[in-house]
Structure 1
Amino acid sequence: MGKKLADLHFTNRLYKSAPFLFAKVNPTALSNPKLLHVNTQMLHRLGLDESMIGNPSFLRFLNGDLDFEGLFFGASFYSGHQFGHYVPRLGDGRAITIAEIKNDYNEHFELQLKGSGLTPFSRMGDGKAVVRSSIREYLASAHMKALSIPTTEALAIITGADDVYREEVEKSSIVLRVAESFLRFGHFQYFAHTNQLEELKTLVEFAIENYFSAYKDHPNRYVLFFQDIVKRTAKLFAGWQSVGFCHGVLNTDNMSILGLTLDYGPYGFINHFDQDHVCNHSDHEGRYSLGNQPSIGMWNLQMLGIALESLIPEVDRKRTLETYPQIFLVEYRRLLLEKCGLYKQQAEDEDFLRTMLNMLVFTELDYTQFFRGLSRYEKDSKKIAGIETPENLINWLDSYDARLNLEETTQADRHAKMLLVNPKFILRNYLAQMAIDDLSLVPKMYEVMTNPFTEWSEVEEWAAPAPLKYRNLSVSCSS
């Protein structure tokens, strides 16, 4: 039997250990709130009963209009480098942490309302979120989890009747975000740059105690803490590159210490492979292009290292940062080989994969469709169902056939494995926009994007690149 809201076990470890991290603030409830969708899998993980979805108290909970014992309401201080420039005070401008809870399996989850009104860090904003950006985050976080890429998640999304002013008048929305922790690089930067070193140490000790507990009694725990963050970040970025995901705003304040995909703003999945692809039309210099993402991960880690200089000697920080490129490359190579159905690594694999990516650049084949089609490729056939076969592709298939000769799996086993790692559906911008334009599509879109390896023949067209009417769709930081 699942719990009711009043039965949740509120722990609030971060607030109790580091109250200096938060400014107390009350959410602003949406007028005429309506429940748009609930992530029932997350509901169950929290230990809640599905029957409560229709209960008015659940809608009030999602709207921040409640007074359950054990809740706290706080927006956190942080700073960060935005497009390479340090901004000394940022903070949760649209997000309010309402609680941390523990489920029956001893898992801890922080709960945040995103879009719940003004906080001390809203700056010139209104603290609200629009339906457009809320749907994009809600769908994307669930989709990334289905792709096995570490991410923050969401429990539910509600809409309201309030007008919100962006480039045009839009309607309001709130997403209840869920993660083991929302601690960002920028939290540590804030306390380091304001010379609050005791608070910084307390925050680091809290993170080690609760999220990196294997090191909590180790004399070099600060170094091991940093090493783990570097490793998680490198693997996260390799995962992004392997599926063609562009984050769009890789500022240090959008970086998770747990290696989670955090803050879904102007993200996008590529159509054809293009290292220069920029998904955020506010990024005029292409700082956060697809090809730049891995090096930006390294740069952001360097900034975190500087914030930790009072705890970690320079030689250890430098040595730790130098591991990032190799961790990234090994993981990226492993993921690409897996997408190709290749499991016995060979000395020539790096050249083989580089040739493949160059072929994808020249042919401009759809990235997702190419790998999905390759998942059913019959050796020596020199053709991929549903994919054009220009000369560059045929030449590469020659080398692919030769590489397959070195594998020990059968063709049937290879196909089965590849179909489980190469999605048929990816959350292209136009699909998210379709759901935004027609909210009745949200349930089906959610179902497909949380099961992207399934065929879903009834929405076959969703597997295709953008139709002409959505071809020039662009996304900015406005939300």
Structure 2
Amino acid sequence: MSAWAALSFDNHFARLDPAFYTRLEPTPLSEPRLAIASASALALLDLPANTVDDPALVTVCAGQQRWAGSDPLAMLYAGHQFGGYNPQLGDGRGLLLGQVRNRRGESWDLHLKGAGLTPYSRMGDGRAVLRSSIREFLASEYLAALNIPTTRALAVVSSNTRVQREHLERGATLMRLAPSHLRFGHFEIFYYRQQFDLLRQLADYALQQHFADCLTDPQPYAALYRSVVERTAGLIAHWQAYGFCHGVMNTDNMALCGQTFDFGPYAFLDDYEPGYICNASDDHGRYAFNRQVDIAQWNLAALAQALTPLVAVEQLREIHALFAPLQQAHFQHLMRQRLGLTCERDGDDTLVVDWLALLTRSRADFHLSHRRLSDTPCEQLQQVADDFADLVGARTWLSTYHARLQHETRSDAERQQAMRAVNPLYVLRNHLAQEAITAAEHDDFAPLRRLHEVLSQPFTAQTNCADLAAPPAEALKRMHISCSS
């Protein structure tokens, strides 16, 4: 019997009022074949790694076979897109297949992207292309390897179905896993429609399924919002500390449970450029890297507005005000870890600010600069100055850093080991993703699978992988990625 048959579905979202969704079946792909699968994502469903060899993996991910126990549906939501409210969005090319509960009691949403037309497709075709599916797979699994909250990607299936974007491309599906697919926009649509009974039902569902610890609070809806603010603060701190640019931080792309959600034109910084814009459609830089903290705060305010029928406005404002200091505290903690500092001391904030300013002035590689500090003994740190265009500034900062390290209690070897465990050697750079995509579009999945395997252990040097650790050529930096998928 196929391992897939043993999955235990508990479709709690489908038990909500039908106003929240539309039931329908996936539209199958033509001549599907497995592009890639994630063994660690399979393990979240208690499935063994050899499940990738099960033909059922391809048929269920291609929409050709329905899982026993699944209950496919397209979710309804709205959202603010580039600052403007869109009154109805929804799953236009994906279906929530249901929830699976694993042996640890965790509930995982299974969501099939590229599953065909839905009532919310608007002018779209309901399909996903292989290019965008691979990009989401790689980003999801790489962020997970970095211990950054994220949705997960189970598998990508390619096909001979043709999809028109800027040109004809291969159609594909991606099986996504997440603790929840609830977005800020789920609450916005019922607030703006003034369907407050449905808004309350949705909040009650979120509390019961995803924020059970808030149920004992005297004001559970306020506690729910506080938890979302706290989780979002931690998430954005991780993005900023690891140079991740989301690219499209619309409220319909913000997950209630605080994970990175809906990958479009994302990028990881190459050189440290705070104002970097990765989205080719973001003409005004709304979602530039250095605006992500402010935009997250804006989005949380939009969610707070949607919750005003349930929570007093003044209380929402007080909770909302927690975001900025929480985000900054998380960010400083992560940056101290990246710099090998175990305890907080006066002046650490300035040390971090000056480090980032040095990287900016020298247009230094964000990731390899941290790795170089990790690999350099304390007494040789001044050698690192040669990596920077601002040689004088680098020597000054490295002297300050050296002096700060003298207050650490652990040995220098322990410091280096700890830093290598949080500063990746391998980075998901856009040019590497594009090379894998180009090969996959010609049915060569080996480069994609190699890249994924290496990125699954981003902190550990691996044999014959120096090409994946090298910085990109100047012409390959600062790529602008299209939204079309």
Residue 429 of structure 2 is aligned to residue 428 of structure 1: yes
Which letter maps to 2:451?
A: M
Structure 1 equivalent of residue 106 of structure 2:
107
The secondary structure found in structure 2 opposite 1:36 is: strand
Structure 2 equivalent of residue 466 of structure 1:
472
Cα deviations by residue, 1:18-73 (Å, 9 ceiling, x for unpaired): 43211112211110000111111222221224444333333211112223432111
Cα deviations by residue, 1:253-306 (Å, 9 ceiling, x for unpaired): 000011100001000011121211111111000000111000101000000000
* Cα distance, 1:343 vs structure 2: 1.5
Structure 2 equivalent of residue 383 of structure 1:
383
Cα deviations by residue, 1:399-458 (Å, 9 ceiling, x for unpaired): 101111111111000000000000001101001001101132011111111111111241
Residue 460 of structure 2 is aligned to residue 454 of structure 1: yes
Distance 1:386 1:178 in 2: 44
Range that drifts further, 390-399 or 13-22: 13-22
For the 8 Å contact 2:13–2:98, the answer to whether it is kept is: no
* Cα distance, 1:94 vs structure 2: 1.3
Structure 1 equivalent of residue 206 of structure 2:
207
Range that drifts further, 227-236 or 35-44: 35-44
For the 8 Å contact 1:424–1:454, the answer to whether it is kept is: yes
The secondary structure found in structure 1 opposite 2:384 is: coil
Per the normalisation by structure 1, the TM-score is 0.97
Which letter maps to 2:423?
A: N
- The verdict on how the C-alpha distance between 1:432 and 1:156 changes in structure 2, with shifts beyond 3 A counting, is same
Question: Which of 429, 441, 457 in structure 1 is aligned with 2:447?
Answer: 441
Distance 1:277 1:457 in 2: 32
Residue 231 of structure 2 is aligned to residue 232 of structure 1: yes
- The verdict on how the C-alpha distance between 1:59 and 1:385 changes in structure 2, with shifts beyond 3 A counting, is farther
Structure 2 equivalent of residue 413 of structure 1:
414
Cα deviations by residue, 1:346-399 (Å, 9 ceiling, x for unpaired): 121111211111111111110100000000222242113983572221111011
Which letter maps to 2:461?
A: E
Distance 1:177 1:68 in 2: 15
Cα deviations by residue, 1:332-356 (Å, 9 ceiling, x for unpaired): 0011111000112112111121111
* Cα distance, 1:217 vs structure 2: 3.4
The secondary structure found in structure 1 opposite 2:47 is: coil
For the 8 Å contact 1:344–1:406, the answer to whether it is kept is: no
Distance 1:362 1:418 in 2: 24
Per the normalisation by structure 2, the TM-score is 0.96
Structure 2 equivalent of residue 39 of structure 1:
38
Distance 2:50 2:329 in 1: 46
Distance 1:376 1:386 in 2: 15
- Listed as ranges, the gaps of 5+ residues in structure 2 are 441-445
- The verdict on how the C-alpha distance between 1:104 and 1:282 changes in structure 2, with shifts beyond 3 A counting, is same
- The verdict on how the C-alpha distance between 1:472 and 1:365 changes in structure 2, with shifts beyond 3 A counting, is closer
Structure 2 equivalent of residue 156 of structure 1:
155
Structure 2 equivalent of residue 296 of structure 1:
295
Distance 2:101 2:220 in 1: 25
The secondary structure found in structure 2 opposite 1:474 is: coil
Residue 388 of structure 2 is aligned to residue 362 of structure 1: no
Distance 1:419 1:233 in 2: 26
Question: Which of 473, 476, 482 in structure 2 is aligned with 1:476?
Answer: 482
The secondary structure found in structure 2 opposite 1:384 is: helix
Which letter maps to 2:392?
A: E
* Cα distance, 1:213 vs structure 2: 0.6
- Listed as ranges, the gaps of 5+ residues in structure 1 are none
Which letter maps to 1:185?
A: F
Distance 2:294 2:350 in 1: 21
Distance 2:59 2:392 in 1: 60
Distance 1:202 1:357 in 2: 45
Residue 180 of structure 2 is aligned to residue 174 of structure 1: no
Q: How does 1:69-468 map to 2 (within 5 A)?
A: 69-381=68-380, 382-384=382-384, 387-388=387-388, 390-439=391-440, 440-467=446-473
* Cα distance, 1:218 vs structure 2: 2.7
- The verdict on how the C-alpha distance between 1:472 and 1:360 changes in structure 2, with shifts beyond 3 A counting, is closer
Residue 68 of structure 2 is aligned to residue 62 of structure 1: no
- The verdict on how the C-alpha distance between 1:378 and 1:190 changes in structure 2, with shifts beyond 3 A counting, is same
Which letter maps to 1:456?
A: Q
Structure 1 equivalent of residue 443 of structure 2:
none
Which letter maps to 1:402?
A: A
Distance 1:194 1:172 in 2: 35
* Cα distance, 1:203 vs structure 2: 0.7
Range that drifts further, 343-352 or 240-249: 343-352
**Identical-residue share of aligned pairs (%):** 36
For the 8 Å contact 2:278–2:479, the answer to whether it is kept is: no
The secondary structure found in structure 2 opposite 1:98 is: strand
Distance 1:21 1:13 in 2: 12
Cα deviations by residue, 1:90-148 (Å, 9 ceiling, x for unpaired): 11111111111111221111101101111111111111111110000001100000001
Structure 1 equivalent of residue 52 of structure 2:
53
Distance 2:299 2:75 in 1: 20
For these two proteins, the number of residue pairs brought into alignment is 478
Which letter maps to 1:441?
A: P
For the 8 Å contact 1:130–1:164, the answer to whether it is kept is: yes
Distance 1:279 1:18 in 2: 39
For the 8 Å contact 1:3–1:47, the answer to whether it is kept is: no
Which letter maps to 1:383?
A: Q
For the 8 Å contact 1:250–1:296, the answer to whether it is kept is: yes
Which letter maps to 1:397?
A: L
Which letter maps to 2:411?
A: T
* Cα distance, 1:472 vs structure 2: 6.0
Range that drifts further, 62-71 or 258-267: 62-71
